[in-house]
Chain A
Amino acid sequence: MNVAICSYGAGNTRSVQLAFERLGVRADVVGDVNAVLEADLAVLPGVGSARSAMDGLRRRGLDEALRERAAGDRPVLGICLGLQLALEETEEDGGVAGLGLVPGRAVRLREGRVPRIGWAPLDDGGDTYWYAHSFVAETAATIATSEGLTAVVEHRSFAGVQFHPEKSGAAGARFLAARCLSLA
């Protein structure tokens, strides 16, 4: 299989690429629409702020490419901000419209230390992953939480994670390997 990691000026694309390569999966960092449309899996990484990230996607036409993939039930994986951008909107930066691949919105964390940085287990007793975020998804598509906060979202062919599997050591590698296996 091959993975297209969306390059749009707001992602830790190199770290995500290295994580797939450690699994022996070919992963290219790409900014063009065709490459995103054709890959077996498109990954939308995300680090930074919502508004500049959405602008970056639009400038490259990747917003439409991702919508087209989702409409065709082709797999997309959103990581951290990449998950939040897939929602209908986010509170960040005074309110920003998202890609609308998943119903729901991202809201600012209101409890605890913000940003929420560190390792936390899934509430269902699953693995422990690393998080670094100030906003979180509120959506009916949540399938797993961590400390009561959305950690994993699934909606049709879209999967999103609030944590960073590419930075979550052995647990993160297991997560990505399972995703790839489910698509093979």
Chain B
Amino acid sequence: MPLPRLIPCLDVARGRVVKGVRFEELRDVGDPVALGASYSEAGADELVFLDISATVDARTAAVDVAARVAENVSIPFTFGGGVRSVGDACAVLEAGADKVSVNSAALARPGLIGELAAQLGTQAVVVAIDTRGGRVRSHAATRATERSAVEWAKECEARGAGELLVTSIDRDGTQSGYDLALLERLRDAVALPIIASGGAGNAAHVASALRVVDAALLASILHANPERLASLRSELSELGVPLRDAA
């Protein structure tokens, strides 16, 4: 297995990184390119940018941000939010992104996963799954669906997803630890790499998740602060988590 990955997640709205609690009270915390570059220097293994502005011009904005990130960062990054078609995905990848992440668009039309995989390769297709109580939710977790998380994960794999980004909505933002039981169920259900999201509050939480799955998405634990990523890396090393030497 490749080394465990630490993946800072940057929420982007109208070309700026924003921070907020459950999408409310969004606060501007900086430029996505500058913050992404700082995370890269602090030892990030990959980056995820999620466009949460959800405007009609999200695609244009995403391509512009992806192009500027690619010019300034030489580690892999994923773009999510506003990707609704193969054309959207191609534009973001051509600008320099390595993967796209789809969520509600795939739930609305699961065939999108296969179309993306055929055009971009499975390794470029991340499906984000937001779950609560074993069920999948859509539209930034605001809407319930009838799908079970495990069954949807299997379907995503069969359709050509290359990676799953699994968020426990109950844990998201609570800093009370990842939902390890959920991660174990999904890990056993599919052979795809899995990125854990939601609940990281300290290094021990992250270490526990990385013993179950392949990568940890880091959002509120970092407070948009690259220095926190550097200190987290040291703490994880002390906990025996093997991380890459980024030098």
Q: What residues make up the interface of A, taking CB atoms closer than 8 Å to B?
A: 12-15, 18-19, 22, 47-49, 52, 81, 112-121, 128, 130-134, 147, 164, 166-170, 172-173
Decide if B215 touches A118 in the complex (CB within 8 Å). Answer: yes
Decide if A119 touches B123 in the complex (CB within 8 Å). Answer: no
Decide if A169 touches B40 in the complex (CB within 8 Å). Answer: yes
User: In the complex the two chains form, what is the Cα distance from A128 to B4 in whole Å?
Assistant: 13
User: In the complex the two chains form, what is the Cα distance from A16 to B81 in whole Å?
Assistant: 25
Binds A, one of B53-61, B92-100, B225-233: B92-100
Task: Name, among A19, A48, A81, A134, the residue most crowded by chain B CB atoms within 10 Å (CB to CB).
Answer: A48
User: In the complex the two chains form, what is the Cα distance from A94 to B63 in whole Å?
Assistant: 34
For the complex, is B219 an interface residue (Cβ under 8 Å from A)?
Answer: no
For the complex, is B84 an interface residue (Cβ under 8 Å from A)?
Answer: no
When distances are taken between beta carbons in the complex, the residues of chain B under 8 Å from A116 are: 2
User: In the complex the two chains form, what is the Cα distance from A12 to B97 in whole Å?
Assistant: 8
Task: Name, among B2, B4, B122, B246, the residue most crowded by chain A CB atoms within 10 Å (CB to CB).
Answer: B2
**Nearest CB of chain A from residue B193's CB, rounded to whole Å:** 5
Contact residue among B119, B120, B214, B246 (Cβ-Cβ distance under 8 Å from A118):
B214
User: In the complex the two chains form, what is the Cα distance from A48 to B245 in whole Å?
Assistant: 28
Decide if A47 touches B193 in the complex (CB within 8 Å). Answer: no
Decide if B244 touches A132 in the complex (CB within 8 Å). Answer: no
Decide if B75 touches A130 in the complex (CB within 8 Å). Answer: yes
Contact residue among A12, A22, A118, A172 (Cβ-Cβ distance under 8 Å from B98):
A12
When distances are taken between beta carbons in the complex, the residues of chain A under 8 Å from B247 are: 170
User: In the complex the two chains form, what is the Cα distance from A114 to B192 in whole Å?
Assistant: 5
When distances are taken between beta carbons in the complex, the residues of chain A under 8 Å from B246 are: 169-170
Chain B, Cβ-Cβ closest to A146: B2
Given pairs A18-B74, A52-B118, 6 additional interface contacts (CB within 8 A): A15-B96, A115-B123, A117-B214, A119-B45, A133-B123, A170-B247
For the complex, is B198 an interface residue (Cβ under 8 Å from A)?
Answer: no
User: In the complex the two chains form, what is the Cα distance from A164 to B67 in whole Å?
Assistant: 18
B82-124 contact mask (Cβ, 8 Å, vs A): 1 or 0? 0000000000011110100000000000000000001111111
When distances are taken between beta carbons in the complex, the residues of chain B under 8 Å from A121 are: 244
**Nearest CB of chain B from residue A14's CB, rounded to whole Å:** 5
Q: A113-B1, A128-B244, A167-B98 are in contact. Are A48 and B191 (CB under 8 A)?
A: no
Decide if A132 touches B123 in the complex (CB within 8 Å). Answer: yes
For the complex, is B50 an interface residue (Cβ under 8 Å from A)?
Answer: no
Decide if A115 touches B95 in the complex (CB within 8 Å). Answer: no
Decide if A167 touches B2 in the complex (CB within 8 Å). Answer: no
Q: List 12 A-B residue pairs with CB atoms under 8 Å apart, sorted by A's residue number.
A: A12-B93, A14-B70, A52-B118, A81-B121, A113-B191, A115-B162, A116-B2, A119-B244, A128-B245, A133-B123, A169-B40, A173-B74
User: In the complex the two chains form, what is the Cα distance from A128 to B123 in whole Å?
Assistant: 19
Contact residue among A18, A49, A120, A131 (Cβ-Cβ distance under 8 Å from B121):
A49
Decide if A134 touches B122 in the complex (CB within 8 Å). Answer: yes
When distances are taken between beta carbons in the complex, the residues of chain B under 8 Å from A168 are: 74-75
**Nearest CB of chain B from residue A106's CB, rounded to whole Å:** 13
Decide if A113 touches B74 in the complex (CB within 8 Å). Answer: no
When distances are taken between beta carbons in the complex, the residues of chain B under 8 Å from A119 are: 2-3, 5, 45, 244
User: In the complex the two chains form, what is the Cα distance from A120 to B120 in whole Å?
Assistant: 23
**Nearest CB of chain A from residue B243's CB, rounded to whole Å:** 9
Task: Name, among B4, B40, B123, B246, the residue most crowded by chain A CB atoms within 10 Å (CB to CB).
Answer: B123
User: In the complex the two chains form, what is the Cα distance from A117 to B5 in whole Å?
Assistant: 10
**Nearest CB of chain B from residue A126's CB, rounded to whole Å:** 12
Task: Name, among B98, B119, B191, the residue most crowded by chain A CB atoms within 10 Å (CB to CB).
Answer: B98
